[in-house]
Amino acid sequence: MTQQEMWQKTSHVVRFAGDSGDGIQLQGAQFTQASALTGHDLATFPDFPAEIRAPAGTRFGVSAFQIQFGGDRITTPGDAPDVLVAFNPAALVVNLNHITSGALVIVDESAFNEQRLRRADLNSNPLEDGSLKDFQVCAIDIAALTMEAVKPFGLGAKDSGRCKNFWALGLILWMFDQPREPTVQWIRRRFGREASVMEANLAALNAGHAYGETAELGAVLAQHSIPPAQLASVEYRTITGAEALALGIVAAGELADVEMMFCSYPITPASSLLHQLTGLEDAGITTFQAEDEIAAVCSAIGASYAGKLGLTSSSGPGIALKTEALGLAVATELPLVIVNSQRAGPSTGMPTKTEQSDLYQAVYGRNGDTPIPVVASRSPGDCFDTAIEAVRIALQHMTPVILLTDGYIANASELWPLPDIDTYAAIPTARPNPLTDDKRAVFSRDPQTEARLWASPGDAAHIYRVGGLEKDYDTGNISYDSDNHQRMTDMRSRKLASVAKFIPAQSLEQGSERGLAVVAWGSTYGAVYQAVKDALREGFDVSHIHLRHLNPLPANLGELLAKFDRVLVPELNTGQLATVLRDKLQIAVIQHNQVNGQPFAVANLKAAIRVQATRRMKEASHG
């Protein structure tokens, strides 16, 4: 990529990288806001270590934030940055392999001293030894320029140094002609009580901006306005997966007119959902930080028994601990929502790295025949609708529901059209109707949904006892009767199957019903979408099918897939959806798997599609 080619692009991929205490994530989040308000479509990818403040300057301590933004439809944070901002040698070297040839590399020159190079295990200075020959390099003494800018505010050396992320942000905002205003507002809110810190950060931001305008860095660092994206005539905001999940949950509670209790135990990367939901009592939800994962799910089940909707959340290891309780919720036919923000396993694995490897756990991972519906969200904004869907299934069918998201979507953000919840359908519940003096037996079940009556304490007409022992189909009393257990097991299977009657038929995201079907689920949506889009443009006979419902699968899925010559299943695991499809649909599928803790690169998927798909030569040449 030449300089000219680079600046002709209508979308860019920028990566900020530094120590985990450098405020990289903040810098990225502020740039995201500015980009959104400019009208760019965007997708972000915060990529940070599990350590809170890893030793400064080390390779393993590098924290990064990547954003793709611009005038095109953006569905991924981009395969390869064309602008890298690196605050130290480690941040530079760990990212060099991933950036586009010809990319702009902005470094804080002051950090390339002997000591910091050694911290990054470097024997020579990459600024001088030719390792950057394929890139446009802009070495600026960011630390010194920041110090100078904040000098009037009398901060100590440490606090002054901490302002450099805003200096760099100011420069990048200038470079892409994006507004400083949202960041100015944020700094004022955040540091309002510490006037000197606030002023210093504002000064750093403005100084970085002014540096771009005045330093005459020529062609290397010039200002480029990126055109806005073609957006629909609605309102937008940026949103992370954790935020959208939280909003979806509170919206679902309102749509169902049910109060909620969210019980959780801190675990990476699921904790942000607990943070988001805390303090929203007036939106109908309370939170409870339990003593452990088991207590979290159990208190949620207690809440559901008592008439609120209980929800719990964790990541794979925590879900494993909750598993026995999920069986109790199935046996007692209580509504419950379990959110799993998947991360790389097994065991503690890589807490901040993403993976899709808990699908078996969700679909199959329990003792007994214990069916639980499973849904998965595909992007940060999609978490909103997926949360509503999970709550709907739980309440309509009186069942626990597992919602799979992952570390990537939880933290990533995208531009999201604001939903109008007045247009959403109300969520039905199985509550007794007090107005009609409902005398139905608690274990009479709706033939459509298999939901039993959601009676709860306080209701004198439906006093009942229930537990994890097998119960009589009609009365709910303990029953070890063999025919009854068969009947109850059949009912539980039927209940799962009944969920499929209420979900939309599976449709295609792109392509037509022939050739190669790329069937994916969860957070690979953006990359698969882009890869299929590119492959279609190149004339390949390929379609994209993205599943939200994984258990049960949409009723028409088998029929739909039968129309294709081949089915390719790309996943961030060793082939779990592939197994489910073989199991449930008895079809042959081709696997494409990656488990390196990173989302799929579009190029990687395109390569896999090219191998499996055939080109529609004629149509391509005519098209």
Partner 1 sequence: MAEALVLEPKDFASDQEVRWCPGCGDYSILKAVHRALADAGSDPANTVFVSGIGCSSRLPYYVNTYGFHTIHGRAPAIATGVKLANPELDVWVITGDGDGLSIGGNHLLHALRRNVNLNILLFNNEIYGLTKGQYSPTSRVGTRSPTSPSGSFDQPVVPGVFAVGAGATFIARAVDIDQKGLPTLLNAGREHEGTAFIEILQNCIVYNEDIWESVSSKKTAADSHVVCVHGQPLLFGKDRKKGLRLNTQSLTLEAVVIGEAGVTENDIKVHDETSTTLAHLLLSMQAPLPMAMGILHRRQGEAFDTTYRKRKPEGRRQRVKALLRSNNVLDRRPAANS
Return the residues of window 362-421 that contact partner 1 according to CB under 8 A. Answer: 415, 418-419, 421
Cβ atoms of residues 344 and 595 within 8 Å: yes
Q: Is 425 among the residues that bind partner 1 (CB under 8 A)?
A: no
Comparison of 164 and 322: residue with beta carbon closer to partner 1: 322
The nearest distance, CB 332 to partner 1, in angstroms, is 8
Member of 328, 453, 535, 602 binding partner 1 (CB under 8 A):
328
- Per-residue binding string, partner 1, 491-530, x by CB under 8 A, is ----------------------------------------
Q: Is 237 among the residues that bind partner 1 (CB under 8 A)?
A: yes
The nearest distance, CB 333 to partner 1, in angstroms, is 13
Query: Cα(260)–Cα(252) distance, rounded to whole angstroms?
Result: 10
- Identify residues 343-362 at the interface with partner 1 (CB under 8 A): none
Cβ atoms of residues 388 and 217 within 8 Å: no
Comparison of 145 and 261: residue with beta carbon closer to partner 1: 261
Output the CA torsion 55→59→63→67 (10° steps).
170
Give the number of other CB atoms < 10 A from CB of residue 594: 20
The nearest distance, CB 302 to partner 1, in angstroms, is 2
Q: Is 250 among the residues that bind partner 1 (CB under 8 A)?
A: yes
The nearest distance, CB 512 to partner 1, in angstroms, is 31
The encoded tokens of residue 290 equal: 């339990």
Q: Is 46 among the residues that bind partner 1 (CB under 8 A)?
A: no
Member of 155, 197, 274, 325 binding partner 1 (CB under 8 A):
325
The nearest distance, CB 307 to partner 1, in angstroms, is 6
- Which of the stretches 34-42, 103-111, 387-395, 564-572 binds partner 1 when contact is defined by CB under 8 A? 34-42
- Identify residues 171-200 at the interface with partner 1 (CB under 8 A): 182
Member of 127, 184, 231, 555 binding partner 1 (CB under 8 A):
231
- Which of the stretches 77-85, 455-463, 545-553, 590-598 binds partner 1 when contact is defined by CB under 8 A? 455-463
Angle between helices 164-175 and 195-214 (to 10 degrees): 40
CA separation, residue 255 to residues 159, 426, 432 (Å): 47, 5, 18
Comparison of 174 and 416: residue with beta carbon closer to partner 1: 416
The encoded tokens of residue 408 equal: 């990537």
The nearest distance, CB 422 to partner 1, in angstroms, is 8
What single letter denotes the amino acid at residue 471?
K
- Which of the stretches 163-171, 292-300, 345-353, 581-589 binds partner 1 when contact is defined by CB under 8 A? 292-300
Comparison of 332 and 411: residue with beta carbon closer to partner 1: 332
- Identify residues 70-129 at the interface with partner 1 (CB under 8 A): none
Query: Cα(33)–Cα(152) distance, rounded to whole angstroms?
Result: 28
Member of 286, 489, 510, 598 binding partner 1 (CB under 8 A):
286
Q: Can you give the C-alpha Rg of the chain in angstroms? A: 26
- Identify residues 210-229 at the interface with partner 1 (CB under 8 A): none
Member of 78, 310, 316, 599 binding partner 1 (CB under 8 A):
310
Q: Is 26 among the residues that bind partner 1 (CB under 8 A)?
A: no
Query: Cα(615)–Cα(310) distance, rounded to whole angstroms?
Result: 50
- The residue with tokens 């082939």 is 575
Query: Cα(126)–Cα(460) distance, rounded to whole angstroms?
Result: 76
The separation between CA 398 and the C-alpha centre of its own chain, rounded to angstroms, equals: 27
The nearest distance, CB 469 to partner 1, in angstroms, is 7
Member of 254, 382, 406, 541 binding partner 1 (CB under 8 A):
254
Member of 130, 346, 458, 623 binding partner 1 (CB under 8 A):
458
The nearest distance, CB 328 to partner 1, in angstroms, is 5
Cβ atoms of residues 283 and 250 within 8 Å: yes
Member of 103, 263, 572, 578 binding partner 1 (CB under 8 A):
263
Q: What is the largest CA-CA distance in the chain?
A: 86
Member of 170, 284, 522, 599 binding partner 1 (CB under 8 A):
284
User: At CA 275, angle to CA 270 and CA 276, rounded to 5?
Assistant: 100
- The residue with tokens 């990126």 is 226
Comparison of 27 and 594: residue with beta carbon closer to partner 1: 27
Cβ atoms of residues 108 and 141 within 8 Å: yes
The separation between CA 194 and the C-alpha centre of its own chain, rounded to angstroms, equals: 34
Cβ atoms of residues 40 and 226 within 8 Å: yes
Cβ atoms of residues 115 and 14 within 8 Å: no
Q: Is 258 among the residues that bind partner 1 (CB under 8 A)?
A: no
Query: Which of helix, strand or coil describes residue 404?
Result: strand
Query: Cα(53)–Cα(30) distance, rounded to whole angstroms?
Result: 21
Edge-first strand listing for the sheet containing 566-571? 542-547, 516-521, 566-571, 590-593
Q: Is 33 among the residues that bind partner 1 (CB under 8 A)?
A: yes
Give the number of other CB atoms < 10 A from CB of residue 619: 10
Member of 21, 152, 457, 504 binding partner 1 (CB under 8 A):
457
Member of 26, 132, 137, 283 binding partner 1 (CB under 8 A):
283
The nearest distance, CB 25 to partner 1, in angstroms, is 16
Give the number of other CB atoms < 10 A from CB of residue 476: 18
Tell me how many residues contact partner 1 (CB under 8 A): 71
Q: Are strands 374-376 and 400-406 parallel, antiparallel or unpaired?
A: parallel
